[in-house]
Amino acid sequence: RILIIGACGQIGTELTLKLREIHGNEEVIASDIREGAAELMKSGPFEILNATDEPHIREIVEKYQIKEVYLMAAMLSATAEKAPMKAWDLNMDSLFHILNLGKEGKIEKIFWPSSIAVFGPTTPKDKTPQTIIMEPTTVYGISKQTGERWCAYYNRKYGVDVRSIRYPGIISYKTLPGGGTTDYAIEIFHEALKNSAYTSFLASDAALPMMYMDDAIKATVDIMEAPAEKIKVRSSYNLGAISFTPQILADEIRKHIKDFKISYEPDFRQAIAESWPSSIDDSVARQDWGWKHEYGLEKMTTTMLKGVEESLKENANK
């Protein structure tokens, strides 16, 4: 069976639903520190689990005979800046608990998400390569960079089959944003549909690498289903899809909502965004395990407007 830790988060929610579709509801155990979206809770087994609680993780792995773990629990970039030590403990302790279960042979395969946040201000910003200088300036980025090094170490030294992707900003509508710097690209759709206006916390020209959720989920399933010998990078794979600025996204939304207005009030998250790449070279993932994205800016925008409109209607009817 499969265990998802952090199943109620932005990626965890849709990853759980997809894995249940593929493997069957009872084969995928969802867990998180609190309950999540109704669609997730009613679709299969759920356990309340703190990702840093090693004995409880071990108990659940044994209870359900877990063979694969997707560790999706983490504190994201903006929130982590407000609680550095809490973020470090959550992001790192949870990873060590799972890597050690792999080392003991209790679980056979691990997915652990990294992020383009591992890159820093000294990293070349355009088409950032797979292997390049990375001096992250955020707690979140430091924890992801360190986590990558530990994944590569456990793979090389103990043969642990851990696989990882450096996610860009992920855009989706099934869950609300979770404390990320890229979350303006989610909020903007809700505000555009509700008020035809949005005040962006990033500047108009803050270009960032982004990806629609379905592409991120497809990449996660693809890398975990690939034969082990194809996964040559055991730190974490660069993954890119689209790259845009708040202004470019606003112009795309205006093709659908004519009177949509955007204003800009950059806050502390602008400095985080400026430290990250604007686009990613993911040619290594494409050649190693056949990655390719399907959602460009236009398709992402129409899909988000449709999805957010539906969820606003559902909430209105509740």
Least distance (Å) between residue 81 CB and ligand VAH: 10
Beta bridge partners of 261: 197
Among the options 64, 70, 140, 167, which is catalytic? 140
Least distance (Å) between residue 272 CB and ligand VAH: 8
Least distance (Å) between residue 239 CB and ligand VAH: 11
Q: Which of 36, 168, 240, 277 binds ligand VAH (CB under 6 A)?
A: 168
* Structure tokens, 45: 């087994």
- Other beta carbons less than 10 A from residue 156's beta carbon: 10
Least distance (Å) between residue 172 CB and ligand VAH: 11
- Taking CB under 6 A as the binding criterion, the range among 168-176, 187-195, 215-223, 298-306 that sits at the site for ligand VAH is 168-176
Cα Rg for the chain, rounded, in angstroms? 19
DSSP SS3 for 8: coil
Total number of residues binding ligand VAH (CB under 6 A)? Answer: 12
- Taking CB under 6 A as the binding criterion, the range among 180-188, 193-201, 228-236, 301-309 that sits at the site for ligand VAH is 180-188
Enumerate residues 181-220 that contact ligand VAH by CB under 6 A. Answer: 181-182
Q: Does 238 bind ligand VAH (CB under 6 A)?
A: no
Strands 208-212 and 242-244, how do they pair?
Answer: antiparallel
CB closer to ligand VAH out of 147 and 168: 168
Q: Which long-range contacts (CB under 8 A, 24 or more apart) does 201-204 make?
A: 201/265, 201/266, 201/267, 201/269, 201/270, 202/246, 202/264, 202/266, 202/269, 202/270, 202/273, 203/246, 203/264, 203/266, 203/270, 204/245, 204/246, 204/247, 204/262, 204/264
Enumerate residues 42-101 that contact ligand VAH by CB under 6 A. Answer: 76-77
* Structure tokens, 160: 């642990």
CB closer to ligand VAH out of 28 and 87: 87
Least distance (Å) between residue 169 CB and ligand VAH: 5
Q: Does 169 bind ligand VAH (CB under 6 A)?
A: yes
CB closer to ligand VAH out of 26 and 265: 265
The DSSP letter of residue 9 is: S
d(CA 232, CA 246): 35
The closest residue (CB) to ligand VAH is 180
Residue type, 65: Q
d(CA 277, CA 124): 7
- Confirm if 33 and 49 have CB atoms less than 8 A apart: yes
Least distance (Å) between residue 266 CB and ligand VAH: 15
The question of whether 154 is a catalytic residue gets the answer no
Enumerate residues 112-141 that contact ligand VAH by CB under 6 A. Answer: 115-117, 140
- Contact residues for ligand VAH, defined by CB under 6 A: 76-77, 115-117, 140, 168-170, 180-182
Q: Which residues are catalytic?
A: 140
